[in-house]
Structure 1
Amino acid sequence: MPDSTEFAGTERVTGVDRWLQRLRGAVAPRRHNARTIAALTGNPGCHRRAVLDAAGVDKPRLAEHIGFPARFGQSRFAITRGNAFEAQVKADGGVELLRLLRERLGRPIPYAAFTDLDDDQPASTPEPAATTDTGPDESNEQRYERSQRLLSAAAREPASGDAVIFDHPLLRLRVAGQPVYLEPDLIAFRVDGRFHVVEIKSFPVIDGQADPSKVSAAAIQAAVYVLAMRQLLTDAGHDPEIVSHDVLLVCPRDFTNEPVAALVDVRKQLSTLRRQLTRMARVEELVAALPPDLTFDLAPDRDGRPTRSPAALTTALDVVEARYAPECLASCELAFYCRHEARGHTGALGRSVREELGGVEQVPTVLALANGELAPAEGQAEAAALLQAAARLRAEALS
């Protein structure tokens, strides 16, 4: 596979980029975000998701076209409500956010400069912050360099009683060997010289309690931002520990739009995230093993309707190894297709079952080993003994 590089504008183009574009087709790539990285690191052995995400393939549309549409995700109403709540928290130069910072960090912060990293000129609360649009011609690399420059300058400032709140920073993290650009909700610079990531979510906190699964998902996504922020400051020569592991999670209170905040410790999520990122295969290695003519291009017509047959696309998907687990149903748009494909495999029963059974991949083989109808192959003796013991105990219980 070619590894030469060239430059298109200020963006670096590599041989891997061209391969990924061929896999995606002639459409704009779907950008990674903290949610997709959290899902990817939750199942680092799934080469299919790693390749499709790196290529920016539109997985929801692909799944729908092949007849296995995703059954999760936010409705348009929920997305609109979430955007409105985020705008409310950031309104007037972050006045409401400053109040939450005072409450949760336990420090009297009399003043805060609200800096939109799409704009070099900060505005101070309580006056509304001026914002500018950098326009479609600015590259991710240019935005990242601006974010690094301004955040690094803030890290060099002496501690004071004031805060600087940064909006629209662009961070970068290497996932499967490829740079991924991320845009967190906010990053707040605190009086003690530390940065705090702010994660704004639209799920409610009712009577002081929020849905634990949603809080857990928000913590994992925030950990992605913390890790990327630490990498940015490390590259700029700063101590990464000035980015706090305590994340400010902002949600609406009860059934109103009144924001309420809590500090969430994401050290456990950071540890897991680092470990899973190191376990992932590099994209260039995965792509190099694929047929040169492989593509997941939907080949849309003038009206945007896919023209490739579902059969051709499922054949293409089958070329890339998947690692299905029931947990994928809550995080991956192709999970229903992969579950259908994994029918009869032990992996479809869960990771714990797959790990306990070692190299026994097929459910019929499991049943034959349990009943003593099949002699265990090399490496299956321990699993066979466990299965036969389980079968015996089950028979005794039933009798």
Structure 2
Amino acid sequence: MLTRVPTPDGDPGKVPADMSDVEARLARIRGTAPVREHTARTIAALTTNPGCDRRAVLDAAGIDKQKLAGYVEFPVPSGQSPFAISRGNAFEAQVKADGCAGLLRLLGERLGLPVPEVSYADLAPAGTGASLDARHARTRELLAEAAAAGPDGGVLLDHPLLRLDVGGRAAYLEPDLIAVRLRGRFHVVEIKSFAVIDGQADGRKVAAAATQAAVYVLALRGLLAELGYGPETVADEVVLICPENFANQPTAALVDVRRQLTVLTRQLSRLARIGDLIATLPADLTFDLGAAGAQPEPGCGGGEHPPRFSDDSAVPGRPVVEVVGALHATRARYAPECLDACELAYFCRDEARGQTAALGRSVHDELGGVPDVAGVLDLAAGTRVPDPDQAEAAELLRLAARLRAESLASAL
């Protein structure tokens, strides 16, 4: 895990001598802020826009993107409402009642899965002093016992703790449940509080749950690989538990996450090669919000980009214009889907204003990859000579413009 070791003079540009070059560079980029640890949700969000260099750099450096977005005056709405959290916790408690006895019946009756006789273990921390390493070690121990018992035995783990390498840092993950060896394989169980109405659920919510569950599958496969078991030991299908119709009775479905696993593996591999990406960035790039020596620009006392206060203290932070400049130094790949997955989406959307990419990938591709809206309008009006690779798109745009003009004329 990367940690920021303060230097005597407080210079965020200096790093411990025992760091590797990549770690040292990431530490400079992050500055004095603590490392933002990954969760299953943030790891799943990496798959939304895997081609975005800006997100790759910020995530690899462990930067708090929500705080950064607020600092540059593009704050994101807060997370789930307290009501939604309470409802989710109540439904999860209902599913796990009596040692998950109802869940085991559901797996057998609804999915037709052969459920062997299992033991139940709750690995939730008993107190605040519970060590993450100790919980992970206990999870590993119980999984080893279940794997050695073969398909006729197993354990139902409640609040297990897994570990996944994300850009060189260990991220601790806590899935809802890891089920016994159903059909000879382990299954990840994901409990969600969104409803299944007449056999149908919100497609976006199901996709988000599948991607999050894929993170757990990947971490579980990594742990079992350490014990000498292949990836086939963990099923490609996860068990999704949701309330059915307008009642609060749980229903179960198997969701295939092979596609999500492929995208997730590719993005994590990209983060592991982050050194190639950061080598192209300015050597002095940093997102430190309170960098030592940063002074307000002349006239920045209440102007467009006044200096901010770091960590709500009385010590002025960097001027907003400097932090915005650091963001502009990294290449973003904004798309409307980012609004659901990235804390910096509002900043990137404003930055992409006037670009066809901001209209969505499908629109951008249909416009022949012309980067800016003004260029599209010029091609449609015939006032711009298209490049050779834009000839077909330009012809279609001129046709669309002519048909629109004819339609408007006939309507008048």
Normalising by structure 1, what TM-score? 0.80
Q: Indicate the residue corresponding to 2:208 in structure 1.
A: 217
| Deviation for aligned residue 1:105 | 4.1
| C-alpha distance 76-49 of structure 1, shift in aligned 2 (>3 A) | farther
CA distance in 2: counterparts of 1:169 and 1:18, whole angstroms: 33
**CA deviation digits over 1:143-168, x for unaligned, max 9?**
656544542442232221x4411233
| C-alpha distance 96-16 of structure 1, shift in aligned 2 (>3 A) | farther
Give the aligned CA root-mean-square deviation in angstroms: 3.4
Q: Indicate the residue corresponding to 2:379 in structure 1.
A: 369
Q: Indicate the residue corresponding to 1:233 in structure 2.
A: 224
**CA deviation digits over 1:351-396, x for unaligned, max 9?**
1232334552121122222222122245433433333333334334
CA distance in 1: counterparts of 2:388 and 2:168, whole angstroms: 35
Listed as ranges, the matches of 1:293-308 within 5 Å are: 293-299=284-290, 300-301=310-311, 303=313, 307-308=317-318
Correspondence 1:198 to 2:189: yes
Q: Indicate the residue corresponding to 2:40 in structure 1.
A: 34
Q: Indicate the residue corresponding to 2:9 in structure 1.
A: none
Matched letter for residue 368 of structure 1: D
Matched letter for residue 311 of structure 1: V
| C-alpha distance 250-369 of structure 1, shift in aligned 2 (>3 A) | same
| Deviation for aligned residue 1:280 | 6.8
| Deviation for aligned residue 1:31 | 2.3
CA distance in 2: counterparts of 1:67 and 1:363, whole angstroms: 26
**CA deviation digits over 1:243-288, x for unaligned, max 9?**
1122111223455554332222323433444456567783222222
| C-alpha distance 42-177 of structure 1, shift in aligned 2 (>3 A) | farther
Q: Indicate the residue corresponding to 1:50 in structure 2.
A: 56
CA distance in 1: counterparts of 2:279 and 2:135, whole angstroms: 31
CA distance in 2: counterparts of 1:280 and 1:28, whole angstroms: 19
Gaps of 5+ in 1: 1-11, 119-130
What SS does structure 2 have at the residue aligned with 1:332? coil
CA distance in 2: counterparts of 1:88 and 1:292, whole angstroms: 53
Q: Indicate the residue corresponding to 1:123 in structure 2.
A: none
| Deviation for aligned residue 1:211 | 2.5
Listed as ranges, the matches of 1:258-297 within 5 Å are: 258-274=249-265, 282-297=273-288
Q: Indicate the residue corresponding to 2:84 in structure 1.
A: 78
Q: Indicate the residue corresponding to 1:341 in structure 2.
A: 351
- The answer to whether the Cα contact below 8 Å between 1:172 and 1:228 also exists between their aligned partners in 2 is yes
CA distance in 2: counterparts of 1:356 and 1:29, whole angstroms: 41
| C-alpha distance 79-291 of structure 1, shift in aligned 2 (>3 A) | farther
| C-alpha distance 35-301 of structure 1, shift in aligned 2 (>3 A) | closer
Q: Indicate the residue corresponding to 1:185 in structure 2.
A: 176
Percent identity over paired residues:
59
| Deviation for aligned residue 1:197 | 0.5
CA distance in 1: counterparts of 2:19 and 2:175, whole angstroms: 25
CA distance in 2: counterparts of 1:333 and 1:179, whole angstroms: 22
- The answer to whether the Cα contact below 8 Å between 1:188 and 1:196 also exists between their aligned partners in 2 is yes
Listed as ranges, the matches of 1:1-399 within 5 Å are: 14-71=20-77, 73-107=79-113, 109=115, 111-116=117-122, 132=126, 135=129, 138-139=132-133, 147-160=139-152, 162-173=153-164, 180-206=171-197, 208-254=199-245, 257-274=248-265, 282-299=273-290, 300-301=310-311, 303=313, 307-377=317-387, 379-399=389-409
> If you compute each CA radius of gyration, which structure gives the higher value, 1 or 2?
2
Matched letter for residue 284 of structure 2: D
CA distance in 2: counterparts of 1:138 and 1:17, whole angstroms: 23
CA distance in 2: counterparts of 1:296 and 1:68, whole angstroms: 15
CA distance in 1: counterparts of 2:360 and 2:322, whole angstroms: 29
Normalising by structure 2, what TM-score? 0.77
- The answer to whether the Cα contact below 8 Å between 1:104 and 1:263 also exists between their aligned partners in 2 is no
Gaps of 5+ in 2: 1-17, 291-309
CA distance in 2: counterparts of 1:33 and 1:301, whole angstroms: 23
- The answer to whether the Cα contact below 8 Å between 1:359 and 1:379 also exists between their aligned partners in 2 is no
CA distance in 2: counterparts of 1:111 and 1:134, whole angstroms: 32
| Deviation for aligned residue 1:301 | 4.2
| Deviation for aligned residue 1:325 | 0.6
Q: How many residue pairs were aligned?
A: 375
Matched letter for residue 159 of structure 1: P
| Deviation for aligned residue 1:46 | 0.7
